[in-house]
Structures are given as C-alpha cells and as structure tokens.
Structure 1
C-alpha cells in the first residue's frame, strides 16, 4: 500500500493533505472570527479550542530535523526572519494604512485622526498585541511573530538536546501557564504563548517521526468528538493568542481538546481523498495571505454588504459574513500568486 506521505506528495514537494488540513484550519479561523455577527457560543468555543494549536502541530510535523542539522543558528534566524517577521510588518503596515483611510472616511479629513491612529497602533504592532484595541485590524498576525519565536526555540532544542527533545518539550505548557497566571501584564512578542506553541510543534514532530497517522485506524478520529464535547464544558475562554489560560482545569481541557481534534482532522484528511481537493489545498498553500488580511476582509465585506440592493435591509449574520469573507479571501489568495502582488499580499520580496 502506498504510504500517506507518498500518496499526498505533490510535484512542488508540498504534502497535499497537510495543505488541505491547513486550508480547513483557515476556514475555521474565518468562521471563528464572525462572532461579532452572532456566531453561536458553542461553535466559537469549539473552534477556539483547537484551530490555532493545529497550525503549530502542522508546523512541527513539517519541521525537518535533518535539514537543519548543519545549519548555523544565525542562518536559521535570518531565514525565519524573512519568512515570518518581514510579512508581519508588511501586513501590519498595509493594514495600518487601510485603517487610517477607513477612519478618515468615517471621521473626516483630519491630521488628528492620522496622529491618533499612529500613536494607538504603532506601539501595538511593535509589542505584538493580539487584540483590535492595539492592532490596526490585523490581530491574527500575532501568529507569525509567535511562530517565528517558537521555531527558533524548537530549532535550538532539537539541535542541542537531540535525543528525547520532543518529549521534554511536552512539559512546556506548564511554563506558559505560569507566565499567564503570575505575570500581571501581557508579555511582548507573544512570549507567554511560545512555550505552549513549542509543545504543539513537538507533538506534530512526534506524529511524523513515529508515523502515527499511517499506523492509526480511521475510526480513531472519533476521539475528536470527546475533545469537542470537553470544549463545551470549558466555561471560561481559553485563547492561545491572548495567553489567558484561566484556571488549571480549563487549561488542561484546552490542551486535551487541541491535541485530539487536531490529530483527528489530520488523520481524516490524510485518508479522505475528496478532502484533498484543490480548494482546501489552495487555501492551505496561501494561508499567510488569509491570516494577514482576515480582519480587514471581515470589516470590508461587512460594509460592502449594506450596498447590495434588496438585501441591505436585512441585518448581517455570521453565515453571510463567513461566505463573503471566504469569497474575498480566495480572491486575494489568487492575486497573491501574481508577481505584482507578492509583496503586499505575501510579504515576500523575492
């Protein structure tokens, strides 16, 4: 029987089912961000209980230890900086400009509007907050900063500890919990989130190294049901982005759900050929664009909706917001494939 990796491998050396899983994650991110339009609380809790951890698990799954064995630390940092930090600042700058233009449109042409936005958002960008009060409508890009730091930490652990390094990383969520529970302010650059994210990366690497997906039976994916049920009982919000891990029990429930559901989605997608379709794979392969402009597109489609004849009198709901945001996300992702739009839509200069 052809192995999962062989069956899902594309000519560009990308793994189709992994891109498809990322694509599903992007759709869940978009759906989870429709809360302002009435997304049911239960759905919000379920999505937030695993969708961002899944991206870190996938990152760990794709982390090639042998590839980096002889790579110098400085070279690795430079590579990761270009890959994640430059896009972070490109997205932040463009969203800041869009935010200023939007505020000028609503508040009138005024230097004070520009000054207020600059003073409000530039510190937030440099600090890497994960909320719209400090970021220019681009809060999801916290993920890029966090992934950059998480990959550096994970690189060092794999390079210098080697044997047993993955299993050592699995205790790192304790560090995140301590930082969140006992530091009375949000740390810069998502530092409190990094240890937990490194643990998720290690888990993804374990799944790959031990060929857990290949060895698993499809019905094992039923554990996702247990994870989602548990998430419904988590009465407090536990968000990876805010590092608000609440009480120990709820934090453990969050970890439990993240692992079970992420594993189940990866397992199902790896076995179900129909889920490895061009749409999911495309979204997954252009996920950085979707993350960079998700909030802007949500706002833009929310405003655009009320210019549509005949339906503008009907209040926007979460389903409409989801569909419109997905449509415009696909459009942006298609444009990101064009050389002309590589810099603004992907943050890439080459």
Structure 2
C-alpha cells in the first residue's frame, strides 16, 4: 500500500528534522498554556477561587485557553503520525511502538498520581482504585487513552482503506 504523507517520501532529513523541532516548540507552548489554564482555574479552582471578585480578564483568558489547549495536542500528534510513522509497518510493530510511547508512561504515572491524591485526602486509597487509575481514563490521564485509541484506529483505517481522501480526513 502506498503511504501518503504531507511531505514527499524522498524529502531530505533536514525537512523532517525542522518539522520535528517546530512540533516540539509548539508542543512546549501548548504545555505551558495547559499549566497556565490550570493555575488560573475556573471559579472553583486555581487562583480565581482565592478572590471574592474575579480577577480582571482571568475568566476570559481561561476560556480562551480552554478552547484549543487539548485539541492542539491531537493536531500535533496527527501531524507527527502523518510525517513520521510508516503505514508499511506491521500491526505488531506499530502497537509495540505505541505501547512504549503511550502505555508505559500511563502505567508509570497514573498510580503515582493516584497515590498523591490519596495522601492529599481527596480520595480514599484502594487497590481497585489504584488499578482503575491505569485502566480507566480518569483524572488527568484521559488524554493517553484517547490518543491511543485515535492512533491505533487511524493506523488500522489507513492499512485497510487505500483511499487518499480517507487518509487526509483522518
């Protein structure tokens, strides 16, 4: 099956390296905006909960950041998927790469976050809850589950559907 890409297959590595650096830069800005959005918070969280009167423009900034801060990660992931992954890979090779890049960080960080939440008193510890922190898209880790589903589904559709139109829709 022919692999469609935003850049030509024969493109030199300098173009891919530049794109990779640009994507890392954009991702860094997006990470900073997510952090800023959480610091500002809504009326029940973040610095806005500390004041009787809402801080000037904080609600507007919060709402603005929340209009795009998570979709930008999916857009970056989609562009990276298009440029740097190969539809010639086997399902096994692709799933292994996603396991290393998505599942292992999830399995490492979700239990740590769960334990911190139990120490803070916001939830009660249970072994079931600890296991569920990895399996279910809870807390801040919903993104890992959604990204895994989106990338595996996209890879499967690209392998099964050879239409260039379908590729660009995905």
**TM-score, structure 1 as length reference:** 0.37
Task: State whether residues 29 and 47 of structure 1, in contact with CA within 8 Å, keep that contact through their aligned partners in structure 2.
Answer: yes
Aligned partner of 1:126 among 118, 128, 135: 135
Q: Deviations over 1:235-278 (max 9, x none)?
A: xxxxxxxxxxxxxxxxxxxxxxxxxxxxxxxxxxxxxxxxxxxx
Q: Distance in 2 between matches of 1:55 and 1:47?
A: 13
The CA distance in 2 between the partners of 1:80 and 1:7, in whole Å, is: 24
Cα distance in 2 between the residues matched to 1:54 and 1:70: 27
Measure the CA separation in 2 of the matches of 1:161 and 1:8: 26
Q: Secondary structure at the match of 1:85?
A: helix
Higher relative CO (Cα under 8 Å, sequence separation at least 6) belongs to 1
Residue 166 of structure 2 corresponds to 165
* Aligned with residue 76 of structure 2, among 58, 70, 73: 58
Gap regions ≥5 residues in structure 1:
107-112, 130-138, 170-201, 203-350
Change (3 A) 1:66 1:33: closer
Aligned-residue offset at 1:24: 0.5
Give 1:20's aligned residue.
25
1:50 Cα deviation (Å)?
Answer: 0.8
2:14 and 2:88 map into 1 onto residues whose CA distance is 26
Q: Aligned-residue CA RMSD in angstroms? A: 3.0
Deviation at 1:117, TM superposition (A): 2.0
Partners of 1:77 and 1:8 lie apart in 2 by: 23
Please say if residues 65 and 158 of structure 1, whose CA atoms lie closer than 8 Å, have aligned partners that are also in contact.
no
Contact 2:87 2:159 in 1 (8 A): yes
Q: Structure 2 vs 1, CA of residues 31 and 75 (structure 1 numbering), >3 Å: closer, same or farther? A: same
Q: Is the 8 A contact 1:32 1:47 kept in 2?
A: yes
Query: For 1:144 and 1:97, how far apart are their aligned partners in 2?
Result: 19
1:281-312: per-residue Cα shift (whole Å, max 9, x none)?
Answer: xxxxxxxxxxxxxxxxxxxxxxxxxxxxxxxx
Q: Is the 8 A contact 1:25 1:55 kept in 2?
A: yes
In structure 2, the CA distance between the partners of 1:32 and 1:75, relative to structure 1 (3 Å rule), is same
Aligned to 1:9: 17
| TM-score for both structures, normalised by structure 2 | 0.71
The aligned residue for residue 247 of structure 1 is none
The CA deviation at 1:121 is: 3.5
